Structure 1
Amino acid sequence: MRHFAVIGSGPAGFYTAEALTKAYGERARIDILDRLPVPYGLIRFGVAPDHQSIKAVSKRYEKVATTPGVRFLGNVHLGADVSIEELLHYYDAVVLATGAPHDRRLGIPGDDLPGVVGSAAFVGWYNGHPDFADLDPPLHGPAAAVIGNGNVALDVARILAKTPDEFVGSDIVGHAFEALAGSGIRSISLLGRRGPHQIAMTPKELGELGYLRAATPLVDLADLPPAEADAALEPGLRKSVAHLRDFARAGPDETKPKRILFDFFAKPLAIEGDGKAERVIVERTRLAEDGSAQGTGETYAVDASLVVSCIGYQTPAIPGVPYDEKLGRFPNSGGRIAERLYGVGWARRGPTGTIGTNRPDGFEVAEAIAALFPPEGESSDRPGSAGLDRLLAVRGCDPVPFEDWRKIEAAEVAAARAGNPREKLVRVEDLLRASGH
Structure 2
Amino acid sequence: MTHVITRTCCNDAACVDVCPVDCIHPRPGDPGFTTAESLYIDPAACIDCGACADVCPVGAIVGDHALDVEGRTSLRLAETYLEAFPPAPDRAPRPAPAPRHTAGPLRVAVVGTGPSAYYAAQELLERTGGDVSLTLFDRLPVPGGLVRFGVAPDHGATKGFGDGLERLLRRPQVRLHLDVEIGEHLTTGELLARHHAVVYAVGASGERRLGVPGEDLAGSLPARDLVAWYNGHPDHAGRDVPLDTGRAVVIGNGNVALDVARVLVSGRTALAATDIAPHALDALRDSAIREVHVVGRRDASHGAFSTPELLALDRIDGVQVLVGDGEAVTGPVDGYAAGLKSEAVARYAGRTPDPDRRRIVLRFGRTPREIVDDGAGAVAGVRFGTPDGGTELLDCGLVLRAIGYRGTPLRGLPFDDDRAAVPHAAGRALHEPGGAPLTGHYVTGWIKRGPSGVIGTNRGCAAETVAALLEDHAAGRLTDPGPGAEADLDRLLAERRPGRVGLAGWRAIDRAERLGGRAAGAPRRKIVTLESLRTTAAQTPPTP
Is TM (by shorter chain) over 0.5?
yes
Mapped to 2, the partners of 1:385 and 1:268 lie a distance apart of: 53
Q: 1:332 aligns with which of 424, 431, 445?
A: 424
Q: Is the partner of 1:201 in helix, strand or coil?
A: coil
| Residue in structure 2 matched with residue 67 of structure 1 by the alignment | 171
| Residue in structure 2 matched with residue 10 of structure 1 by the alignment | 114
Q: Is 1:261 matched with 2:361?
A: yes
| Residue in structure 2 matched with residue 233 of structure 1 by the alignment | 335
| Residue in structure 1 matched with residue 19 of structure 2 by the alignment | none
Kept in 2, the 8 Å contact 1:144–1:304? The answer is yes
Q: 1:109 aligns with which of 203, 206, 213?
A: 213
Q: Is the partner of 1:434 in helix, strand or coil?
A: helix
Q: Is the partner of 1:322 in helix, strand or coil?
A: coil
Q: How far 1:223 sits from its partner (Å)?
A: 2.2
Q: 1:31 aligns with which of 125, 131, 135?
A: 135
Q: How far 1:378 sits from its partner (Å)?
A: 10
Q: How far 1:213 sits from its partner (Å)?
A: 2.2
Q: Is 1:434 matched with 2:526?
A: no
Structure 2 length normalisation: TM-score? 0.75
| Residue in structure 2 matched with residue 303 of structure 1 by the alignment | 395
Mapped to 2, the partners of 1:225 and 1:47 lie a distance apart of: 30
Q: Is 1:314 matched with 2:406?
A: yes
320 and 306 in structure 1: CA distance in 2 versus 1, 3 angstrom threshold = same
| Residue in structure 1 matched with residue 471 of structure 2 by the alignment | 371
377 and 191 in structure 1: CA distance in 2 versus 1, 3 angstrom threshold = closer
Letter matched to residue 451 of structure 2 = P
Q: Deviations over 1:43-95 (max 9, x none)?
A: 00000000000010111111111112111211101122101111121111111
Q: How far 1:189 sits from its partner (Å)?
A: 1.1
349 and 376 in structure 1: CA distance in 2 versus 1, 3 angstrom threshold = closer
Structure 2: unaligned runs, 5 residues or longer: 1-104, 430-437, 540-544
Letter matched to residue 371 of structure 1 = E
Q: Note the 1:398-413 alignment, pairs <5 A.
A: 398-413=499-514
| Residue in structure 2 matched with residue 290 of structure 1 by the alignment | none
Kept in 2, the 8 Å contact 1:328–1:350? The answer is yes
Q: 1:347 aligns with which of 444, 447, 464?
A: 447
Q: Note the 1:384-399 alignment, pairs <5 A.
A: 384-399=485-500
Kept in 2, the 8 Å contact 1:20–1:28? The answer is yes
Q: How far 1:108 sits from its partner (Å)?
A: 1.1
Kept in 1, the 8 Å contact 2:112–2:137? The answer is yes
Kept in 2, the 8 Å contact 1:9–1:41? The answer is yes
Q: Is the partner of 2:250 in helix, strand or coil?
A: strand
Mapped to 2, the partners of 1:77 and 1:199 lie a distance apart of: 37
Q: Note the 1:19-418 alignment, pairs <5 A.
A: 19-220=123-324, 222-229=326-333, 232-235=334-337, 237-249=338-350, 251-254=351-354, 256-273=356-373, 274=375, 275-285=377-387, 296-337=388-429, 338-374=438-474, 380-382=480-482, 383-416=484-517, 417-418=519-520
Q: Deviations over 1:237-284 (max 9, x none)?
A: 5433322111114x1352643221111111111111221011111111
Give the fraction of aligned pairs with identical amino acids, expressed as a percent: 36
Kept in 2, the 8 Å contact 1:23–1:375? The answer is no
| Residue in structure 2 matched with residue 293 of structure 1 by the alignment | none
410 and 283 in structure 1: CA distance in 2 versus 1, 3 angstrom threshold = same
- Structure 1 window deviating more from structure 2 (38-47 vs 179-188): it is 179-188
- Structure 1 window deviating more from structure 2 (213-222 vs 149-158): it is 213-222
Q: Is the partner of 1:248 in helix, strand or coil?
A: coil
Mapped to 2, the partners of 1:19 and 1:256 lie a distance apart of: 52
Kept in 2, the 8 Å contact 1:2–1:379? The answer is no
Q: Is the partner of 2:474 in helix, strand or coil?
A: coil
Q: How far 1:331 sits from its partner (Å)?
A: 1.6
- Structure 1 window deviating more from structure 2 (102-111 vs 261-270): it is 102-111
Letter matched to residue 439 of structure 2 = E
Q: Deviations over 1:171-228 (max 9, x none)?
A: 1111111111111111211111111111121122111211222221111462233332
Q: How far 1:428 sits from its partner (Å)?
A: 0.9
Structure 1 length normalisation: TM-score? 0.92
Q: Which has the higher contact order (CA 8 A, sep 6+)?
A: 1
Q: Deviations over 1:333-388 (max 9, x none)?
A: 11111221111111111111010110111111111111111399999344543232
Mapped to 2, the partners of 1:13 and 1:242 lie a distance apart of: 37
Mapped to 2, the partners of 1:386 and 1:19 lie a distance apart of: 25
Kept in 1, the 8 Å contact 2:428–2:469? The answer is no
- Structure 1 window deviating more from structure 2 (99-108 vs 220-229): it is 220-229
Q: Is the partner of 2:389 in helix, strand or coil?
A: strand
Mapped to 2, the partners of 1:280 and 1:376 lie a distance apart of: 58
Q: How far 1:159 sits from its partner (Å)?
A: 0.4
- RMSD of the TM alignment (CA)? 1.9
Letter matched to residue 152 of structure 1 = V
- Structure 1 window deviating more from structure 2 (256-265 vs 137-146): it is 256-265
Question: How many corresponding residue pairs?
Answer: 423
Kept in 2, the 8 Å contact 1:3–1:385? The answer is no
